[in-house]
Amino acid sequence: MKKNIKIVLSLVLFTIIFYLTSRTQLNGLFINTGHFIEISENVFVSPNTSIIQAKKLQKLINQSYSRNDSVIWIKTKRNKKIIFCADNNTFYDYCPDTTLQAAFLSSPYLSHIVIGPKGFNLDVISHEMCHAELFERLGILAWFKVKFLVPVWFDEGLAMQVNFEERYNIKNLASYIKENQKELISIKSVVSYNDFFKNEDKIWFNYFASKLEVENWLSIVGKEGLIKLIESIDNFNRIEENYSYLKKHSIHKIQ
């Protein structure tokens, strides 16, 4: 009897801990059973979202798909699960970090985009959609592949290709790039999310350096090279094994 009670208490404790640590993601997982409104397939908005906001959101999502199509993916997969929270309190229930404007959340059992009131713009939504697209293209065990096979500089650098904010405009920062060449190249040593985001003063630099590195690579290998790299990751190979090879091979083809 005492043994059974211990087992039950352990299960209850585990359930409570699991919910507390995964609360925001679980809320997103069961979004269609709650009070959110589905305005189109897989697009959910909080009840206090105005009709104008809902229409603008749908327009931004469509534009984000188009931007990802033209810049990176050829054809972005549609109907991604997107959750919009019109206020910060609601956003806190669906995003673990309320300092963010939006986030792509993933785990072994779910994936979706959460957008807060400050993330209501084309650059932010396009960025998170790119994260979601990479995740989807990695197929079975995508969460494992992103976590262990894809360094953060590539994941963020790829998503930055569809972020056109002026503060990351490479054309306007030619002199900065020239003066900081060695440090910019060192971004490839930043492989974990903790290292990428731990120093607030370097977050802009990390985003910019990642964008520059991946943009240079894409300009050589093209969309076809990206597809080959993703196929390699999908087969459980680390990025480093083919990233440089594809670049060198493409340069030889051009020459």
25-50: pLDDT as tens digits: 667 665 766 789 999 999 999 999 99
Ordered by start, the domain boundaries in the chain are 24-137, 148-255
**Least confident among 14-28, 37-51, 82-96:** 14-28
Which one is the CATH code of 24-137: 3.40.30, 3.30.420, 3.30.559, 3.30.1360? 3.40.30
Mean pLDDT of the chain: 87
pLDDT (0 to 100) of residue 95: 87
Which of 38-47, 170-179, 209-218, 236-245 comes out lowest in average pLDDT?
170-179
> What's residue 173's pLDDT?
83
Lowest mean pLDDT among 68-77, 146-155, 241-250: 241-250
Per-residue pLDDT at 21 exceeds 70: no
Q: What is the pTM of this model?
A: 0.86
Residue 58 confidence (pLDDT) above 80: yes
Percent helix, strand, coil in the chain, to 5, is 70, 10, 20
Q: How many CB atoms are closer than 10 A to CB 83?
A: 25
| pLDDT value at 60 more than 50 | yes
pLDDT at 20 over 60: no
Between strands 37-40 and 43-45, the pairing is: antiparallel
- Residue 170 has a CB neighbour count (10 Å cut-off) of 14
Provide the pLDDT for residue 99: 82
CA 77 from centroid of its chain's CA atoms: 15
Q: What is the mean pLDDT of residues 182-189?
A: 90
Among 214, 208, 73, which Cα is nearest to 154's?
Answer: 214
pLDDT band (50, 70, 90) for residue 16: very low
Q: Are 251 and 245 in contact (CB under 8 A)?
A: no
